[in-house]
Amino acid sequence: MKILVTGARGFIGENLIAQLRNLNYTDILMFDKNTKLSLLDQYCEEAEFVYHLAGVNRPNEDREYMEGNLGFTKVLLDALEKHKNNCPVTISSSIQAVFDNPYGISKKAGEDAVFNYSRETGAKVFVYRLPNVFGKWCRPNYNSFIATLAHNIARDLPVTVKDPETVLNLAYIDDVVEELISLLKDKGNKKGDFCEIPVVYQITLKEVVNLLRSFKDSRINCSIPDMSEDFTRKLYSTYLSYLPENNLTYPLKMNADHRGSFTEFIKTAGQGQISVNVSKPGMIKGNHWHHTKNEKFLVVSGRGVIRFRKLNSDRVIEYYVSGDKLEVVDIPVGYIHHIENIGETDMVTIIWANESFNPRKPDTYFMEL
């Protein structure tokens, strides 16, 4: 299937084309502001589906809104009509189309042109009045305040928030792309008309800024946001895409002594903590027990033995572990336990605990095994 995408180098176009290719739609006719206009006529003759994503939202003069959002739409539709190509046409409009401002008026005019074209030719048209869309590859300081906020916060640049209680309607780029591609999968069988993105989040500007700032802080305190919250998960992915390319790493605090080291890696509010334990050859670490805190040990390099003794018992249980065979060992509560490196190289153990370490309530009681 030959698919024409206008605005191919824009935020939505770039994400759409990437996913189309992932799904093996390889015959994509890409058109953007740098493409020769003469190619549009050829593309409109060949296209079997059209995504019209091109538009103007940051012009130098107001008249450019109408030129870009209506004028170019008419050029596209005229070319399709010239070739009697009644393939489905999808257009990205905006929730601003209901407002009496230059941008909104131009988007509404583009919608009207598409619906008129449908009535005259019988072609199916799908119009999406998109809310604010956020996600990777969006240009900061251009058409997305989320991109601007993420970009600035990641770089310690000033952030201006005029009305923090403003309620935002936000759609995530992957959800938008999935909806747009669903039209292809339906092979144009869906009834043409106004369409909606199925997932739109309502959240205040203050909440967005606070989340973005917490993401920045998480690289310092080793925390991870609550990924069970759908919006938080998507905003976090977006934030990471705006990190400076020379600042993708951050250091961890290693607590080292003659036995090796212990380093906290990830802390969560409700899913526990992950740490990295390095043991030198012959060294024993542990010799303690817990009331409620439980752990999982995974040796990923080296050889060792994990020993257990139930409190008030003399029987010792041993589990031999190795990076050659990845096995998780559960550390139950009420058992004194330690891990010994019995190899000739450093032994590396990934440790998950069901709760993040709380120095005021460590729930760790030292006792020789």
Q: Just list the catalytic residues.
A: 103
SS3 assignment for the chain: CCEEEECCCCHHHHHHHHHHHHCCCCCEEEECCCCCHHHHHHHHHHCCEEEECCCCCCCCCCHHHHHHHHHHHHHHHHHHHHCCCCCCEEEEEEHHHHCCCHHHHHHHHHHHHHHHHHHHHCCCEEEEEECEEECCCCCCCCCCHHHHHHHHHHCCCCCCCCCCCCEEEEEEHHHHHHHHHHHHHCCCCCCCEEECCCCCEEEEHHHHHHHHHHHHHHHHHCEECCCCCHHHHHHHHHHHCCCCCCCCCCCCCEEEECCEEEEEEEEECCCCEEEEEEECCCCEEEEEECCCCCEEEEEEECEEEEEEEECCCCCEEEEEEECCECCEEEECCCEEEEEEECCCCCEEEEEEECCCCCCCCCCCEECCC
Longest pairwise C-alpha distance within the chain: 90
* 301: β partners: 348
Identify any residues that bridge with 43 across adjacent strands, giving them in sequence order.
Answer: none
* Residue 191 vs residues 126, 200, 342: alpha-carbon distances, Å: 8, 22, 69
